[in-house]
Amino acid sequence: MQTVKPRLHSDQYATGILSGDRVMLGQAITLIESNLENDKVLSAELLEKLMPHTGNSLRLGITGAPGVGKSTFIEAFGKYVTDQGKKIAVLTIDPSSQITKGSILGDKTRMEELSKNPMAFIRPTASGNILGGVSNKTREVLLLCEASGYSVIIIETVGVGQTEVNVKHMVDFFLLLMLAGAGDELQGIKKGIMEMTDAMVITKADGDNMDHATRAQAEYQHALHLFPASASGWQPRVITASSLTGKGIDAVWKMIIEYQNLTTTSGFLKQNRSAQQVAWLNEYFDQLLKSDFHRLQNFQSTLKNMERDVAEQKLSAYAAAQILLKALYENLKSVIG
Amino acid sequence: MQTVKPRLHSDQYATGILSGDRVMLGQAITLIESNLENDKVLSAELLEKLMPHTGNSLRLGITGAPGVGKSTFIEAFGKYVTDQGKKIAVLTIDPSSQITKGSILGDKTRMEELSKNPMAFIRPTASGNILGGVSNKTREVLLLCEASGYSVIIIETVGVGQTEVNVKHMVDFFLLLMLAGAGDELQGIKKGIMEMTDAMVITKADGDNMDHATRAQAEYQHALHLFPASASGWQPRVITASSLTGKGIDAVWKMIIEYQNLTTTSGFLKQNRSAQQVAWLNEYFDQLLKSDFHRLQNFQSTLKNMERDVAEQKLSAYAAAQILLKALYENLKSVIG
């Protein structure tokens, strides 16, 4: 049973967020992530009020397989960024878990230093499951953090699922963390991620591991040169870094700033964000539609039958799709008629 | 103005196709590609009759940037395959052109030898434009060719657009043709294609170009080793080949057969095809829906307004999607009410 806190007026949330009130930001995120109908209306209201105050952050995607040292890297990187007077927000997406009190605490423990830093804000977000009606609100959470004055926003994922492709479409710069060891550690990373990275960071480049890391850097740099060019005109780079010694953390930051300058001057950054916004619109629209369709029981049972017949090659996908559309319209009459 | 030939009964098409009648196959493809309502009904009927006779070919995707030598490679490869007593069909997808008499002739001229070979069937197919109502029927054309006894089917694309991702989902094995010259020639290839290839063939590996090709082979082989593993368990390979001397063509064929044996034994080939079928169903369904939506004028004008507001950051994608869904349902009443 979901217990619901009494909600405030959207103006109150907006004022709190714009003034940088962390508690209010946290409560507004909970509101945005809620699937209650009233909350959705309130969320939309709040977002409209905040929209003019969004867009001013550097949006970073960071991914890497479990064990690569994402949390310690983000701790070190976060410290570096906040030391320069910039507020940083870290949104972690864990596809395997819904948000529970446990995982929030778990996550804060993971980044112990950063979670105590008043310039940093750490928050896990649900990866979402649109068919079940829970949709991913990471994009809106990002907008809320921007409105609240966070000038660097990291979206962190584990690199093993579909999530990364979505994250790529939310961010300006996409960073893949890798361990030295040539190939093996990539087993956990989903296909297609390497080609969409703007940079790779070889982590744990310290002590005995230094040689390995430098060799891996050269190998990956060479491999990335063989890849097709990015639409941004940016040539992906490989950097070695150590969260332990701090080596390379500044190089990562400088590289990202260089990217930001390059793509701001060329106009790519702005174009890319506009295109992302329109893509979000289409994706949300599809999600809303599918979520409505999910409630149509006759349509759902036809869908299951069609999927089975098509998988068993009893029916062509082409014919099945037409049967399915007919079933949808028949069933939809009851909803919109 | 489209002129329409009188159609036959679906049984007549089916009998002709199953007996290997090329003229009948050609006419049936024209039928399948038609967007006239009556033709769609007839196409669905025909496909149902042919379904039990499909699935017996090796489905190959071949892509490469313009100038890489796709046509000459397919000519040499096609000759090799037909010399072994196997019938081959080549379906070429040109995203830049609709099907016209011109492009059909143009394509046949491109593969002059193969087009005269009675064991080969060459056919360009439209890349499709679902919003305009023309949908890509390459999958159905593939099924028709299978039913007509073609045991190797090549789907050829130019590697520069979205088409390749779709083709990957139609085929068992995906081949990327590359010219030696390390990197530069990849400029024309879309991001993500390298990571989804099962093999690369370095073309024009003959004469003075031999050294270049061998070096490129080593480089790409190394790069591919750094990629995440395929779900199939197959490690992508790089082969050098010359359409001029015929060198390497047999190696390509043997590799594909090895892949087929491996994935047949492991069950991956079958699983992958089942998953592809279900994905087609969902894609076709989405296409049909969008094609219907495209005809709803009020919805379309709201969509344009929302896209503009969202791109200009006047409205959040989240709120715009909700407005759009309301507009859709209001407008849809007239269609299904």
* pLDDT tens sequence across A259-270: 999 999 999 999
Q: What tens digit of pLDDT does each residue of B261-277 get?
A: 999 999 999 999 999 99
- CA neighbours closer than 13 Å in the CB half-sphere of residue A58: 21
Average model confidence (pLDDT) for chain A? Answer: 86
Give the bridge partners for A154, in sequence order.
A60, A90
Considering only CB atoms, A325 lies closest to which of B186, B289, B318, namely: B289
Residues 271-330 of B with CB under 8 A from A: 274-275, 277-278, 280-281, 283-285, 287-289, 292, 306-307, 310-322, 324-325, 328-329
Q: Inter-chain contact B284–A321, Cβ cutoff 8 Å? A: yes
The answer to whether the beta carbons of residues A277 and B313 sit under 8 Å apart is: yes
| A218 CB neighbour count, 10 Å cutoff | 10
| pTM of the shown model | 0.81
Considering only CB atoms, A288 lies closest to which of B183, B196, B321, namely: B321
Closest residue, chain A, to B336 (C-alpha): A329
Q: Inter-chain contact A332–B337, Cβ cutoff 8 Å? A: no
Q: Summarize the confidence of residues B299-321 as an average pLDDT.
A: 91
Considering only CB atoms, B337 lies closest to which of A196, A312, A337, namely: A337
Lowest mean pLDDT segment, chosen from A194-208, A286-300, B132-146: B132-146
Identify which has the larger pLDDT, A135 or A59: A59
Q: Inter-chain contact B313–A139, Cβ cutoff 8 Å? A: no
- pLDDT score, position A96: 52
Q: Inter-chain contact B55–A187, Cβ cutoff 8 Å? A: no
Phi, psi (rounded to 5 degrees) for A34: -70, 145
CA distance B193 to A226: 12
Lowest mean pLDDT segment, chosen from A27-41, A141-155, B120-134: B120-134
pLDDT band at A195 (very low <50, low <70, confident <90, very high): confident
CA distance A157 to A160: 8
The answer to whether the beta carbons of residues B108 and B147 sit under 8 Å apart is: no
- pLDDT score, position B299: 94
CA distance B298 to B303: 9
Selected residue of B222, B277, B315 to mutate for chain A interface (largest A Cβ count, 10 A): B277
- pLDDT score, position A199: 95
Q: Helix or strand or coil: residue B55? A: coil
Q: What tens digit of pLDDT does each residue of A20-32 get?
A: 999 999 999 999 9
Q: Helix or strand or coil: residue B296? A: coil
pLDDT band at A219 (very low <50, low <70, confident <90, very high): confident
Q: Inter-chain contact B316–A47, Cβ cutoff 8 Å? A: yes
The beta strand positions in B81-151, using DSSP E, are: 88-94, 120-126
pLDDT at B107 over 60: no
Question: Which chain A residues are Cβ-neighbours of B291 within 8 angstroms?
Answer: none
Q: What tens digit of pLDDT does each residue of B161-196 get?
A: 667 777 888 999 999 998 886 455 455 677 778 888
Q: What share of chain B has pLDDT > 90, as a percent? A: 55
CA distance B258 to B254: 6
- What's the token pair of residue B216? 């490129």
Question: Which chain A residues are Cβ-neighbours of B194 within 8 angstroms?
Answer: 195, 226-228
Q: Inter-chain contact B322–A288, Cβ cutoff 8 Å? A: yes
Q: Helix or strand or coil: residue A207? A: helix
Ranges A158-167, B79-88, B222-231, most confident: B79-88
Q: Inter-chain contact B319–A47, Cβ cutoff 8 Å? A: yes
Q: Which conformational region is residue A315 in: left (phi greater than 0), alpha (psi within -120 to 50 degrees), or beta?
A: beta
- DSSP-H helix ranges across A189-248: 193-196, 210-225
